Amino acid sequence: MGELLIKNGFVFDPLQGIKGDRMDIGVRDGKIVETSALSSPKTIDAAGMTVMAGGVDIHSHVVGPKVNVGRLFRPEDKLFKSPHKSPTCNRMEMGFSVPSTFKTGYDYARMGYVFVNEAAMPPLHSPHVHEEIRDTPIIDNAAMPVFGNNWFTLEYLKNHEIENNAAYTAWLLRATRGFAIKVVNPGGTEAWGWGLNCEHIHDPVPYFDITPAQIVKGLIEANEYLGLPHSMHVHANNLGNPGNYTTTLDTFKLSEGIKPNSKFGRDQVMHHTHVQFHSYGGDSWANVESKAKEIMDYVNSHDNITIDMGQVTLDETTTMTADGPFEHHLTELNHLKWANADVELETGSGVVPYIYSPSIKVCAIQWCIGLELALLAKDPMRVFMTTDHPNAGPFIRYPRIMKWLMSREAREQQFDAFKHKDKVIEATNLAGIDRELDLYEIAQMTRAGPAKALGLAHMYGGLAPGLDADVAVFDFNPNEPYAPDDIEKAFGNARHLFKTGVQVISDHEVVSNGNKRTLWVNARVNENPQVMRDVKEKFLRYYTVTLNNYEVTGHHYLPNPYVIEVDATE
């Protein structure tokens, strides 16, 4: 693949503590190397520009059946354009909140991102998830199968069968080519099958006689028993309801006293996602208020937790989640169309359009809460930028979120555009927060931090020798005066992007589809005949497919797999 020298850029690399120093970055055979190791590299002039590692998205819904439902049932979301005439990037790009696979890959690359973690994979539909991953160019992907309403998981946990639960978890990760343990409204989506929900962590799940608290704790234990790269990744109960911050704090507390067991460098045992949707005070939409401060007081003082924002971007978007009961609740609130599915023994989902209008007080309060979470973070290595794409807004708004985080002036402009500005200020803390993040902190929240939390810091998130050569160059000089909008413009349109040493963006144009990989975790456990008997029995009795048609195998689904081996045998 040859050698590269990216010269004279202002480098931001939290992994090495580099804060905007003018430096050269060396690349050889797809890896970062010392510049002294290069013999005759191709030179890229990055003088006057910002250089960072490739971006890492810890939570985004980009592929799979519910994304496809969103694409199908929202023709009004389609913006057809074919802006690029290069031989590589010649596909029609369409969709705003639910973009096509090609647009997804290209748009992430244009923001300098190289890795995206698909946030919810229904195990039964994992072949579909992997086919869409395969068709998403440039970016590496992983996908998290959902476990929090899975009948096997619920039964093993109810019976305190820790080892069997771990063995089943390892089996399902392998069968689905999955990456980590995801939990969505634990117990609640299963309860929805009975017309019920679990809004609090001690609500019983019908039939299974287990609670969300037991599910979350049991899966953290399984995660640490196996020693997986990432921690258990939770979307807690009671999402999106006034007063839900107490449920969030109760969920956080389930991680107390548990230490990480992972060789992959993470410090947390729980990643709690889209915390904006889980930080509401009040007891109705009339008096809903921010509890971001209470949430961040907890996060700041407990280092075995990481979170991501779920920032509202004030756009029209398409919500989609395995939290089936929540989507039913949402369609009753906004009276827009609704799709809903039950996934046999495993999970469910719903899809509902949503308009986050600056004229609606609640939407403006949500916007404040997401930014407060990031701006109140003492350790930006544990609080990550997301929009829970597309739930709180499309991922293409990340550069705009950077602008809001880096510029108080930009935030004030947005406040002035709110119809109910005074009431919004009263219900939130944001107007009183002066903090402006710098590019080092942004690199922590978008690169080094999420890479570490995912257990992938040996590949992504930094520019130290030995890491994958994922290097983004932006037309942004941090040492010269800039307007807030310059941030959004520069970081939404990378000048250059190298992925594992291959130049995929050159002078703002996509020039290669790269060497896209699918990461998955192969956790080896001792042979467990009991679990395999249980699996066979449930497939015979309940599933609509046979076991042979369930497992994701072969080149068709994962043409370029990257397997992370974990040894949990004794």
Q: Is 184 in the site for Zn ion (CB under 5 A)?
A: no
User: The dihedral of CA 455, 458, 460, 464: what is its sign?
Assistant: positive
Cα 15 vs. chain centroid, distance in angstroms?
Answer: 20
Q: Which is nearer to Zn ion, 388 or 488 (CB)?
A: 388
Query: How many angstroms separate the CA atoms of 509 and 83, rounded?
Result: 10
**Whole-number Cα distances in Å, 393 to 254, 310, 389, 396, 399:** 29, 8, 6, 8, 12
Q: Are 199 and 188 in contact (CB under 8 A)?
A: yes
Q: How far is the CB of 182 from Zn ion (least distance, A)?
A: 9
Q: Which is nearer to Zn ion, 347 or 513 (CB)?
A: 347
Q: By C-alpha distance, which of 9, 89, 106, 109 is closest to 475?
A: 9
Task: Give the angle subtended at the CA of 287 by the CAs of 285 and 289, to the nearest 5°.
Answer: 95
Among the candidate windows 27-35, 97-105, 166-174, 388-396, which touches Zn ion by CB under 5 A?
A: 388-396
Q: Is 327 in the site for Zn ion (CB under 5 A)?
A: no
29 Cβ contact list (under 8 Å, min separation 6)? 1, 2, 501
Tokens (6 digits) for 348: 């469910």
Q: Which is nearer to Zn ion, 96 or 326 (CB)?
A: 326
Q: How far is the CB of 277 from Zn ion (least distance, A)?
A: 9
Among the candidate windows 12-20, 102-110, 113-121, 457-465, which touches Zn ion by CB under 5 A?
A: 113-121
Task: Give the angle subtended at the CA of 409 by the CAs of 414 and 96, to the nearest 5°.
Answer: 45
Q: By C-alpha distance, which of 82, 91, 130 is closest to 519?
A: 130
Among the candidate windows 38-46, 197-205, 224-232, 383-391, which touches Zn ion by CB under 5 A?
A: 383-391
Q: Which is nearer to Zn ion, 100 or 387 (CB)?
A: 387
**For 146, which DSSP code?**
B
Among the candidate windows 146-154, 386-394, 456-464, 513-521, which touches Zn ion by CB under 5 A?
A: 386-394
Q: How far is the CB of 327 from Zn ion (least distance, A)?
A: 12
Q: How far is the CB of 83 from Zn ion (least distance, A)?
A: 29
Which position has the token pair 């009961």? 325
Query: How many angstroms separate the CA atoms of 517 and 24, rounded?
Result: 27
Q: β-strands 232-235, 270-272: how paired?
A: parallel
Q: Which is nearer to Zn ion, 111 or 119 (CB)?
A: 119
Q: Is 224 in the site for Zn ion (CB under 5 A)?
A: no
Q: How far is the CB of 272 from Zn ion (least distance, A)?
A: 11
Q: Which is nearer to Zn ion, 119 or 442 (CB)?
A: 119
Among the candidate windows 119-127, 279-287, 294-302, 429-437, which touches Zn ion by CB under 5 A?
A: 119-127
- What count of other Cβ atoms lies within 10 Å of the Cβ of residue 80? 9
Q: Which is nearer to Zn ion, 51 or 121 (CB)?
A: 121
Instruction: Count interface residues toward Zn ion (CB under 5 A).
Output: 2
Q: Which is nearer to Zn ion, 119 or 220 (CB)?
A: 119
Query: How many angstroms separate the CA atoms of 487 and 377, rounded?
Result: 21
Contact string 504-543 vs Zn ion (x = CB under 5 A): ----------------------------------------
Tokens (6 digits) for 541: 């009795």
Q: How far is the CB of 371 from Zn ion (least distance, A)?
A: 19
Q: How far is the CB of 262 from Zn ion (least distance, A)?
A: 23
Among the candidate windows 97-105, 249-257, 339-347, 381-389, which touches Zn ion by CB under 5 A?
A: 381-389
- What count of other Cβ atoms lies within 10 Å of the Cβ of residue 165? 24
Q: Are 121 and 144 in contact (CB under 8 A)?
A: yes
Q: Which is nearer to Zn ion, 143 or 510 (CB)?
A: 143
DSSP string for residues in 77-121:
G---B----SSSS-S-B--SSS--HHHHHHHHHHTTEEEEEEEEE
Q: How far is the CB of 386 from Zn ion (least distance, A)?
A: 8
Query: How many angstroms separate the CA atoms of 4 and 140, rounded?
Result: 21
Query: How many angstroms separate the CA atoms of 508 and 493, rounded?
Result: 6
Q: How far is the CB of 519 from Zn ion (least distance, A)?
A: 18
Q: Which is nearer to Zn ion, 110 or 182 (CB)?
A: 182
Among the candidate windows 382-390, 475-483, 510-518, 554-562, which touches Zn ion by CB under 5 A?
A: 382-390
Helix (H), strand (E) at residue 412: helix 408-417
Query: How many angstroms separate the CA atoms of 364 and 371, rounded?
Result: 11
Q: Which is nearer to Zn ion, 235 or 403 (CB)?
A: 235
Among the candidate windows 116-124, 329-337, 426-434, 496-504, which touches Zn ion by CB under 5 A?
A: 116-124
- What count of other Cβ atoms lies within 10 Å of the Cβ of residue 185? 30
DSSP reduced 3-state for 308: strand
| Orientation angle between helical segments 212-226 and 245-253, nearest 10 degrees | 40
Q: Which is nearer to Zn ion, 15 or 320 (CB)?
A: 320
Q: Which is nearer to Zn ion, 67 or 124 (CB)?
A: 67
Q: By C-alpha distance, which of 322, 311, 238 is closest to 69?
A: 322
Q: Is 119 in the site for Zn ion (CB under 5 A)?
A: yes
Q: How far is the CB of 552 from Zn ion (least distance, A)?
A: 21
Q: By C-alpha distance, which of 214, 297, 306 is closest to 262?
A: 306
Q: How far is the CB of 274 from Zn ion (least distance, A)?
A: 6
- Residues 268-287 touching Zn ion, rule: CB under 5 A, are none
Q: Is 488 in the site for Zn ion (CB under 5 A)?
A: no
Q: Which is nearer to Zn ion, 71 or 496 (CB)?
A: 71
Q: Is 388 in the site for Zn ion (CB under 5 A)?
A: yes
Q: How far is the CB of 403 from Zn ion (least distance, A)?
A: 23
Q: How far is the CB of 515 from Zn ion (least distance, A)?
A: 27
Among the candidate windows 30-38, 112-120, 406-414, 557-565, which touches Zn ion by CB under 5 A?
A: 112-120
Q: Is 57 in the site for Zn ion (CB under 5 A)?
A: no
Contacts to Zn ion by CB under 5 A: 119, 388
